[in-house]
Copies of this chain bind each other. A is one copy, B any other.
Amino acid sequence: MPALDFWFDFASSYSYPAVMRIAPLAATVSVTVRFRPFLLGPIFKAQGWNTSPFNLYPAKNRYMWRDLERLCANLSLPFRQPDTFPQPSLLAARIALVGLAENWGEEFCRAVFRAEFGEAGRIDDTATISRLLTRFGVDPGDVLAKAQSDPIKARLREETRDAQRLGIFGAPSFVTEDRELFWGNDRLEQALAWAVDG
C-alpha cells in the first residue's frame, strides 16, 4: 500500500480538520498514513517569526478563525475558538510520539485537537492531558514519564529537523514517498491522489 506522511503541529488550527479527515479519506483510496507530529516553532523562528504568522497580521488572523468556523460547520465538526493561540504544543507532541509507538497515538491526536479547537480547552497542562489519556486504558503517570524521557525528547527534535529538511514551512503538510510536498488541509485530497498515482 502506498504511504503518506502527515506532518502536523498540535498548535496549528488548520491541522484540526486535517487530523479529523485523514484516516477515513486515506482508507477510501487504500493509502497508509503515518502521523508525524513536529514543532513549527523552530521553523517559524528560522523565518524570523516569534509567534504564529496569524498573530502577526490581524486581518489574516480574523479571517482564519472565520474560515475555520465555516470549514468545521461544513464538516460537522465542533468548533470553539480557544482563548489562547497558539498553545504550547511540546507536551502533546511528545506524548503523541509515545502513543504512536504503541496503539493509541492516532486516537490521542484526534482527542487533543478536538479538546483544543472543538471545546476551546488547554492542551499544555498535564491535568487536561492526563484526563484525555485515561480514555486509552493507559496509566497517565507512566505515559508522562515516558514523554519526558531523553529518547522521546531527542526523537521530537529529529522529527522537527526532518520536517525542515523536507522543505516544510507550515502545518498541516503531507509528503509522499517520492517526496512531493503538499501544504494545507485543502491539499489533503490532492496529496492522497499523488500517493496513489504519482
A residues touching B (Cβ–Cβ < 8 Å)?
Answer: 47, 57, 59-60, 62-63, 66-67, 70, 74, 167-170, 181-184, 186-187, 190
Give every chain B residue within 8 A of A169 (Cβ-Cβ). 57, 59-60, 63
Give every chain B residue within 8 A of A187 (Cβ-Cβ). 67
Number of copies: 2
Q: B167 contacts A62, CB within 8 Å?
A: yes
How far apart are the CA atoms of A59 and B173 in the complex, in Å? 13
A–B complex contacts, Cβ < 8 Å, 21 sampled:
A47-B57, A47-B59, A57-B169, A59-B167, A59-B168, A59-B169, A60-B169, A60-B170, A62-B167, A63-B167, A63-B169, A63-B181, A63-B183, A66-B181, A67-B182, A67-B183, A67-B187, A70-B190, A74-B190, A184-B186, A186-B186
Chain B nearest CB from A62 CB (Å) reads 7
Q: For residue A57, which residue of chain B has the nearest CB?
A: B47
Give every chain B residue within 8 A of A70 (Cβ-Cβ). 190
How far apart are the CA atoms of A187 and B185 in the complex, in Å? 12
